[in-house]
Amino acid sequence: MRKPLASLCAMLSCTLCAASPSPPGEGDLAAGLIPGLERDTGIKIHGIIDAGYSRNTTSTRTERRGGLTNLPVAGYADEKFELAFFNLFIEKPLDSRYLPRATPLPGPQDQDYSFGFTVGMLYGRDGQFARTTGWDEHWGINEPGASATAKAQRRRQNFYAVPDLFATAYLPYGTGVSIMAGIFGPGIGYEIPPNIRLARNAFATKTYAFVTEPGTVSGIVLGTRMLDSGTSLLGGELGIVQGLNNLRDNNNSKSVLGALRWRTADMRGWIDYEFIVGNAQNNSSDDIQAPTYRLVSSSAQFRQQHSLNGWFALDNHWSIGAEAVAGRQDGDGKPGTVDIVTGPGFSGAHWWGVNSSLTYQYRQDLAFSARAEHFSDPQGFALFPVSVARGSFNGITLGLRYEATRNLSLRPEIRYDWFTGNADDRPFGNDRNRQQTTATVQALYYF
């Protein structure tokens, strides 16, 4: 039972996992085509198709022919039909009581060495934002859109990406050390893609906080279970990585990421504190990694991002999740420190946000959710490139999840967003509006 549990957690950095076998649907195709693969080798193959249809109240008929007309609403950025992603995973999970970027687990400490790997491949519109600089960003198959973002938007181009390519190991020393090395999602923030069945994501669209959090990192992370008192668990991790969405270092310094993860012993509640800190500037105008890094400077410009998030089951029907996120980008204000949006003399930016969701599990196959969020970006820095509006974004989302079959989940939602801030900034409807209503129907097919 431990390997399916580890698989579900590790593949999505899911910090709340039920002690149960793999959910229905995930791995069905591989199990039918290659019977006994997981039993005989420990290797699991599973996938998701995430597709849907959305409309908003601000775009024109002409604009809808292209893509990204829902922005700055993230998750489903296109109107009409969108293949968000086709995601395929091949993995051999660890036998470990600590899963890096994920969670400590209850139970006795493992005494044997364990080794594993994960490969996650993605194709779809979300591939445009899932790519890593120096790795899959400019693969030939992603052209012309990889070099011409406006053309990719007009053509609604799908992109290929491999956001997960890493090896794992468990060493039974001390409290037990789990290691992850390669390219992977850092597990920072409440919402983490993609949408496996046990993911914490309740909605098709994402929060503004999600936009500010790194999609991938490359490097190494170590984690261990620090406490198991019988009533609660505490785990910690620390890593060294190239930076945000980055395999090719652009400023000759690394970033540090880490986390503290607390769990109740029954895994019905958790609190995480996660962070990533490091210099975030392009040293040279000849090698600008935009949009990940907006600054060009020969001097170090420090960036930090912090997330405090948690989830609790209130009873057998009600559950609540919440996140507070804060970040800062330093700027020395010198003429040689250039923001590619605002120009020379960048003197720093800060941002913060809060969001919370409430879910009612009406029955096993049907759940209703509501979410409220507020995100403050006074310098119009954190949400780039989806928006450079200076002010605060607010949103209310209502939706449900219906498990139509063993393999198919449906998630319709309606969302209202409004902006308050600089009088000249109108982030919705191609810079015409300060509010927007978006309706989305998402289908998730698990195989």
pLDDT tens column, 401-428: 999 999 999 999 999 999 999 999 999 9
pLDDT single digits (tens) 21-35: 567 899 999 999 999
Task: Pick the closest to residue 55 from 70, 40, 44 (CA basis).
Answer: 70
Reading the block at residue 321, the tokens are: 């999740």
Mean pLDDT of 345-354: 98
Backbone phi, then psi, for 194, in 5-degree steps? -85, -165
Q: What whole-number distance in Å separates Cα of residue 358 and Cα of residue 369? A: 6
b/e burial code for range 49-70 (CB count within 10 A of at least 16 → b): bbbbbbebebbeeeeeebbbbb
- Work out the percent of the chain whose per-residue pLDDT is above 70: 95
pLDDT value of position 288: 87
What pLDDT is recorded for position 22? 60
Count of beta carbons in the 10 Å neighbourhood of residue 385: 16
Number of structural domains found in the chain: 1
Residue 64 reports pLDDT greater than 60: yes
Q: What is the mean pLDDT of the chain?
A: 92
Find all residues with CB under 8 Å of 252, minimum gap 6, and list them: 283
Identity of the residue numbered 50: D
Find, among 85, 305, 291, the residue nearest to 193 by Cα. Answer: 85
Cα separation, 97 vs 103, whole angstroms: 8
For residue 111, the number of C-alpha atoms closer than 13 Å in the C-beta half-sphere is 1
- Model pLDDT for residues 233-264, shown as the tens digit of each residue: 999 999 999 999 999 888 989 999 999 999 99
**Predicted pLDDT at 198:** 77
CATH number, position 376 = 2.40.160.10
55 band by pLDDT with thresholds 50, 70 and 90: very high
pLDDT band at 2, cuts 50/70/90? very low
- Domain of 250 in residue numbering reads as 2-446
